[in-house]
Amino acid sequence: MTEKATKSSALPAEVENFLRSLQSERNFSAHTSTAYRKDLKKFVQFLGRRPNWKAIDHPRIRAFLSHLHESGLNKASIARTLAAIRAFYKWMGREGLIEQNPAALVSTPKLSKCLPRVPTIEEMNGTLDSPMPESAAFPERDLVIFELLYGCGIRNSELTGMRLDDIHWSEGQIGIRGKGKKERIVPLGDSAASAIREYLPKRRQALTLNKKSSDVLLINLRGGPLTSRSVGRIVKAIAHAKGLSSDVHPHTLRHAFGTHMLSEGADLRAIQELLGHARLSTTQRYTQLSPSQVLEVYDRTHPKAK
C-alpha cells in the first residue's frame, strides 16, 4: 500500500523535542540540525500525519530508504537520512517512548570508496604564496581562511566559531571547539600567524567603520560574524581564480591537510588528534594515499623494487 504524505508542515512533538535536544544536550552544529530536520520531515511525510512510532518496524524504514533511492537521492544522502532516523530512535529509547529500535536493524547503504581529488602540495603552496585575486573583497581575511583551513585542518564550523582569545600566541597554538563540545589544540603555524597579524588591523578598521564590536575572529565587511556559507563561497571563488578545480570547498582543504601530512610521513594517530576524529577509521578514509604515492613508497622501500 502506498504511503500518503502529510499535508501539514508541522512535525510531531517527538521530532521537535528531539531536534531541540541536539543543540541543548549534544551541541550539534546548526547545519546538522537543519539537515536532520529535513530528513525527518521526509520520513514523517512518508509515514503519514500521525506516526505510531512503536508500530514502525525495520522493513518500513527500509521501504522509506528505497523510496528515497527511487526518487533519485544519492547513497550519501540516504546514509545521512538513516543516521538522522537512528539518532531519533536512540533519543526516543532514552526518553522511554519506545522499547525497541528498528533503525538499528537497517544497514547503511554501501558508499563509493573513491575519494574526492585534493590539490597537490605544490598547488596549495602556489595558492597560498601568490597574491589574492582582485576579486577578493577582503583579501587579508580571505588569506587567513585558507591558512587556517589548510594549515590547521579545521572544519568550516570550527573556523567560523573561532574567537580572538582562542589564539594562544605565546604557545603557538589555537584552541578549537569541535563536534559534541569536544575541545582540542592545534598548532598555529608561522604562515597562519603572519596572516592573522596582517588581518587584525583591517578587522579593527572594519569594526570601527561599522561602529561594532566582536570577539569573533572572522568578520564580514559590515562587521558581523562570517558564516560557514560565506566561507564556502569565498573558498570556491578564490580557488577558481587561482587555477584550482572549481569543486574546491572548505572540506577539500581539510582533506588536503590530512592527505599531505600522511604523504610526508606523519603518524596516523597524530593526524587523528589534529583533525579531531573520534575514530581512527575516519582518519584513514580521509588520508588515503593516491596510487602514484603508493607506487613511490613501494619503489623507495621494497627490496625487489630496486
Catalytic residue among 80, 236, 255, 277: 277
Active site residue 269: no
* 150 is annotated as an active-site residue: no
* Grid cell listed for 263: 604523504
**Catalytic annotation on 168?**
no
State the catalytic residue, choosing from 179, 202, 249, 285: 179
In the annotation, is 298 catalytic? no
- Active site annotation includes 286: yes
Active-site residue, selected from the candidate residues 41, 90, 251, 285: 251
Could you confirm whether 254 is annotated as catalytic? yes
Q: Which of 80, 254, 255, 260 is catalytic?
A: 254
Residue type, 40: L
Residue appearing with cell numbers 549534544: 26
d(CA 203, CA 225): 11
State the catalytic residue, choosing from 155, 242, 255, 260: 155
The set of catalytic residues is 155, 179, 251, 254, 277, 286
